Amino acid sequence: MVQFDNDPAPLYHRLYELERILEDHSFTATNPFRVSFSYGLVCSRDGEHIDDLLERCDTLMYERKRRKHTAHSEGRA
């Protein structure tokens, strides 16, 4: 996902809301499976190469994914 301003707050809010909606609809009587997603959200730095920006995004995404899987396996999610 790409956002072309450096105020991540509105995007964080939308992503949080989407996570809550998916969580609310997982493992119900009519939906016996879990749907989730992970993301990395960063603001670009002056002069930063796109490859470096994407690497930072990937790193954050995999950290979030690991935390979510750990919390889920420990019964916290």
- Count CB neighbours of 18 within 10 A: 12
3 in a domain, yes or no?
no
66 in a domain, yes or no?
yes
Q: What is the tens place of the pLDDT at every residue in 37-59?
A: 888 888 888 899 999 999 999 99
Q: Number of C-alpha atoms within 13 angstroms, CB side, residue 53?
A: 13
This prediction has a pTM of 0.69
Tally of domains in the chain: 1
Q: What is the mean pLDDT of the chain?
A: 84
pLDDT at 11: 86
2 in a domain, yes or no?
no
Q: pLDDT band for position 61 (50/70/90)?
A: very high
Write out the two tokens for 65: 């994914």
Alpha helices in the chain (DSSP H): 9-24, 50-73
pLDDT at 54: 92
d(CA 53, CA 58): 9
What Rg value do the Cα atoms of the chain yield, rounded?
15
Give the structural domain span for 41.
Answer: 9-72
